[in-house]
Structure 1
Amino acid sequence: MAPVIVGVADIKNRSTKVEDAKEPAQLMLEAINLALQDASSSDARQLKSSIDSVDVVHTWTWPYADLPGLLSDKLGVQPRHKFYTEIGGNQPAKLLDEAAIRISSGECKAAVITGGEALASLNSCVKHKKLPPPGWTEPAQTVESVFSPTSRRLTRDDIGGIHSTGAPIHVYPMYENGYRAHKKQSIKENHEESAQLYGQFSQVAAQNQYAWNHGKPAGTAEAIGTVSEKNRMICFPYPLLMNAFNTVNLAAACIITSTEHAKKLGIPESKWIYPRSGAGEKDSDRFWERANYYSSPAISWSIDQCLRTSGLTKEDIDVYDFYSCFPIVPKLACEHLGLSITSPSKPITVLGGLTSFGGAGNNYSMHAITEITRKLRNGKGRNGLILANGGVLSYQHAVCLSTQPNSSGAYPDNRALKIPNKLIPQISAGAEGEAVIETYTVQFSRKGTPSIASVIGRLKANGHRFVANHGDPQTLTRLSSLTEEPIGKTGFVRPQKTEEGLTKNLFFFDSARL
Structure 2
Amino acid sequence: MERKTPIVVGVGDIVNRSKEVGDAIEPLQLIIQAIRTALADTALDATAVASLQRDIDSVDIVRSWTWPYPDLAGLVSEHLDIRPHRKYNSEHGGNQPAYLFDEAARRISRGEGKVTVVAGGEALASLAACAAANKLPPPNWTPLAEEVNSVFSPTTRELKPSALPGAWMPPPRPPLSSSTRASDPGHYSADLGARHSIGNPIHIYPLYENAFRAHRGQSLAENHAESAKLYADFARVAEANEFAWNFGKKAETEGTIGTVGGRNRLICFPYPLLMNAFNMVNLAAACVLTSTEYARELGIPEDRWIYALGGAGTRDCDDFWQRPTFWWSPSISRSLDAGIDASGLRKEDIDLYDFYSCFPIVPKLACAHLKLPILNPPKPITLLGGLTSFGGAGNNYSMHAITAMVRQLRRGRGKNGLVLANGGVVTYQHTVCLSTSPRRDGLPYPNTNPLTPLVTDVQVPSITESPDGDATVETYTVEFNRDGAPLRGHVIGRLKSNGHRFIANHADERTLWELCSTEVEPIGRSGTVKTGDDGKSLFGFTWGMAKL
Aligned partner of 1:436 in structure 2 is: 472
The alpha-carbon deviation at position 414 of structure 1 amounts to 3.6
1:413 aligns with 2:413: no
1:450 aligns with 2:482: no
Q: Which amino acid aligns with 1:277?
A: G
Deviation digits for residues 101-132 of structure 1 (CA, Å, limit 9, x no counterpart): 11001111100000000011111111111111
Q: Which amino acid aligns with 2:276?
A: N
Contact between 2:312 and 2:450, CA under 8 Å: does it hold in 1?
no
Deviation digits for residues 282-318 of structure 1 (CA, Å, limit 9, x no counterpart): 0110000001010111000000001111111111111
1:286 aligns with 2:319: yes
Partner Cα separation in structure 2 for residue 428 and residue 88 of structure 1: 29
SS at match of 1:256: strand
The alpha-carbon deviation at position 42 of structure 1 amounts to 0.9
Give me the TM-score of the superposition, normalised by structure 1. 0.98
SS at match of 2:105: helix
1:234 aligns with 2:281: no
SS at match of 1:185: coil
- Within a 5 Å distance, the mapping from 1:159-174 to structure 2 comes to 159-174=192-207
Aligned partner of 1:389 in structure 2 is: 422
Q: 1:138 to 1:476 in 2, by over 3 A?
A: same
The alpha-carbon deviation at position 40 of structure 1 amounts to 3.1
Contact between 2:508 and 2:543, CA under 8 Å: does it hold in 1?
no
Which of 541, 544, 547 aligns to 1:509? It is: 541
1:45 aligns with 2:50: yes
Q: Which amino acid aligns with 1:409?
A: L
SS at match of 1:276: strand
Aligned partner of 1:152 in structure 2 is: 157
Contact between 1:493 and 1:507, CA under 8 Å: does it hold in 2?
yes
The alpha-carbon deviation at position 83 of structure 1 amounts to 0.7
Partner Cα separation in structure 2 for residue 197 and residue 417 of structure 1: 30
The alpha-carbon deviation at position 41 of structure 1 amounts to 2.9
Aligned partner of 1:3 in structure 2 is: 6
1:20 aligns with 2:54: no
Aligned partner of 1:472 in structure 2 is: 508
Compare 290-299 and 419-428 and name the one that shifted more: 419-428
Which of 122, 125, 136 aligns to 1:120? It is: 125
Compare 168-177 and 310-319 and name the one that shifted more: 310-319
Partner Cα separation in structure 1 for residue 372 and residue 356 of structure 2: 15
Aligned partner of 1:485 in structure 2 is: 521
Contact between 1:154 and 1:164, CA under 8 Å: does it hold in 2?
yes
SS at match of 1:478: helix
Deviation digits for residues 323-358 of structure 1 (CA, Å, limit 9, x no counterpart): 000000000000011111111000000000000000
SS at match of 1:364: helix
Contact between 1:51 and 1:111, CA under 8 Å: does it hold in 2?
yes
1:69 aligns with 2:74: yes
Which of 356, 363, 379 aligns to 1:323? It is: 356
Contact between 1:350 and 1:371, CA under 8 Å: does it hold in 2?
yes
How big is the alpha-carbon RMSD for the aligned residues of Structure 1 and Structure 2?
1.0
Compare 326-335 and 398-407 and name the one that shifted more: 398-407
Aligned partner of 1:178 in structure 2 is: 211
Contact between 2:507 and 2:543, CA under 8 Å: does it hold in 1?
no
Partner Cα separation in structure 2 for residue 115 and residue 6 of structure 1: 17
SS at match of 1:39: coil
Partner Cα separation in structure 2 for residue 90 and residue 174 of structure 1: 20
SS at match of 2:529: strand
Partner Cα separation in structure 1 for residue 524 and residue 371 of structure 2: 26
The alpha-carbon deviation at position 511 of structure 1 amounts to 5.1
Aligned partner of 2:184 in structure 1 is: none
Contact between 2:504 and 2:538, CA under 8 Å: does it hold in 1?
yes
Compare 455-464 and 39-48 and name the one that shifted more: 39-48
Q: Unmatched 5+ residue regions in structure 1?
A: none
Partner Cα separation in structure 2 for residue 173 and residue 468 of structure 1: 16
Aligned partner of 1:373 in structure 2 is: 406
Deviation digits for residues 47-77 of structure 1 (CA, Å, limit 9, x no counterpart): 1011000000010000112100000000011
The alpha-carbon deviation at position 409 of structure 1 amounts to 2.3
Partner Cα separation in structure 2 for residue 209 and residue 513 of structure 1: 54
SS at match of 1:117: strand
The alpha-carbon deviation at position 512 of structure 1 amounts to 5.7
- Within a 5 Å distance, the mapping from 1:202-217 to structure 2 comes to 202-217=235-250
Compare 421-430 and 8-17 and name the one that shifted more: 421-430
The alpha-carbon deviation at position 513 of structure 1 amounts to 5.7
Deviation digits for residues 461-494 of structure 1 (CA, Å, limit 9, x no counterpart): 1111000000111111111111110000111101
Identity %: 58
1:274 aligns with 2:310: no
The alpha-carbon deviation at position 421 of structure 1 amounts to 1.2
1:462 aligns with 2:498: yes
The alpha-carbon deviation at position 497 of structure 1 amounts to 1.9
Q: Which amino acid aligns with 1:63?
A: P
Compare 363-372 and 423-432 and name the one that shifted more: 423-432
